[in-house]
């Protein structure tokens, strides 16, 4: 089996995306990078080039389908396609559910959900046509597996990414494709995500002042993380090799998931006390 030769990474200008790009470059892979922030993107490109690999960097907005399609088409022309795709770009807003504006919803849905969908639509058919082993990683969040006060819009988009990724994995299995899928679900860790507003489009500008108490909680959570973006990138590459679907880097996320699932099943049992439990199904990638 030939080694993966090229990776495409969205949101590569900062945080987890930058570390994914550098981790792939350290593997000797060519990297195609995109980000909405040209200066940050150029910085990552320089860092990857210094590792001696071929680098392509294109500024763009993942929420714009035509820009993602142009990026995929350039990747094909330059590298003959990519083996690994990281749909990683993401943004966040905070505040109680009732204070979320229509602009909040439009912005987060565009970047966090349509950004991932656009990547899959433009890259996966090209992977299928190549008929070589490939892998897609979608960055969701621990907020896509469980929920927290103050994160309604973010959490809704990340739950959507988890559901979309699970369906993608099942669709690829059904198609008999040798394309693995992973969904990356970190809890808080230090990156630029708490300053997402720097990339918010003018036409979707915030119409209410952000709730500062939530911002403080996020900053404290980030500072308390025992792992950083470099660790998350390393765990993600390990998961690709092992074809593990759920990539859950923080140990405490296990408890949040367990609590949520118990709450669902407890309430289900209250309504259906005599229902027998059927055997657990296999996770995606494992059938």
Binding site for ligand NAD (CB under 6 A): 10-11, 13-17, 35-37, 40, 61-63, 88-91, 111, 139, 141, 186, 188-189, 191-193, 196, 199, 222
Query: How near is the Cβ of 78 to ligand NAD at its closest, in Å?
Result: 19
Q: Which is nearer to ligand NAD, 202 or 275 (CB)?
A: 202
Query: How near is the Cβ of 171 to ligand NAD at its closest, in Å?
Result: 22
- Inter-axis angle of helices 229-242 and 15-26, to 10 degrees? 60
Residues 111, 63 contacting (CB under 8 angstroms): yes
Separation between Cα atoms, residue 271 and residue 124, nearest integer Å? 42
Query: How near is the Cβ of 220 to ligand NAD at its closest, in Å?
Result: 12
Closest to 19 (Cα-Cα) out of 176, 212, 230 = 230
Q: Which of 71, 79, 107, 154 is catalytic?
A: 154
Count CB atoms within 10 A of the CB of residue 222. 16
214 is annotated as an active-site residue? no
Query: How near is the Cβ of 186 to ligand NAD at its closest, in Å?
Result: 4
Q: Which is nearer to ligand NAD, 19 or 83 (CB)?
A: 19
Q: Which is nearer to ligand NAD, 139 or 152 (CB)?
A: 139
- In the numeric block, the tokens 């899959």 are attached to 120
Q: Which is nearer to ligand NAD, 40 or 179 (CB)?
A: 40
Closest to 150 (Cα-Cα) out of 92, 189, 235 = 92
Separation between Cα atoms, residue 135 and residue 284, nearest integer Å? 13
Closest to 180 (Cα-Cα) out of 36, 64, 79, 84 = 84
Active site residue ranges? 154
């Amino acid at each position: 089996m030939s080694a993966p030769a090229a990776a495409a990474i969205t949101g590569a200008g900062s945080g987890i995306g930058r570390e994914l790009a550098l981790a792939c470059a350290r593997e000797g892979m060519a990297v195609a990078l995109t980000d909405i922030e040209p200066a940050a993107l150029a910085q990552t490109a320089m860092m990857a080039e210094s590792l001696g690999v071929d680098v392509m960097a294109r500024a763009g907005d993942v929420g714009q389908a035509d820009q993602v399609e142009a990026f995929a088409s350039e990747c094909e022309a330059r590298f003959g396609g990519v083996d690994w795709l990281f749909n990683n770009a993401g943004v966040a807003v905070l505040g109680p559910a009732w204070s979320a504006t229509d602009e909040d919803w439009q912005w987060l849905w565009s970047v966090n959900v349509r950004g991932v969908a656009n990547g899959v639509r433009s890259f996966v058919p090209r992977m299928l046509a190549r008929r070589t082993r490939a892998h897609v990683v979608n960055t969701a969040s621990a907020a896509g597996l469980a929920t927290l006060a103050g994160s309604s819009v973010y959490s809704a988009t990340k739950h959507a990414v988890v559901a979309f990724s699970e369906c993608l994995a099942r669709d690829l299995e059904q198609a008999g494709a040798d394309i693995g899928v992973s969904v990356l679900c970190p809890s808080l860790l230090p990156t630029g995500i708490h300053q997402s507003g720097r990339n918010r489009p003018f036409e979707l500008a915030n119409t209410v002042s952000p709730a500062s108490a939530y911002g403080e909680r996020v900053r404290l959570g980030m500072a308390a993380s025992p792992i950083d973006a470099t660790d998350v990138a390393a765990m993600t590459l390990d998961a690709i090799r092992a074809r593990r679907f759920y990539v859950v880097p923080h140990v405490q996320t296990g408890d949040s998931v367990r609590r949520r699932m118990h709450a669902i099943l407890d309430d289900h049992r209250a309504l259906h006390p005599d229902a027998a439990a059927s055997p657990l199904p296999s996770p995606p990638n494992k059938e």
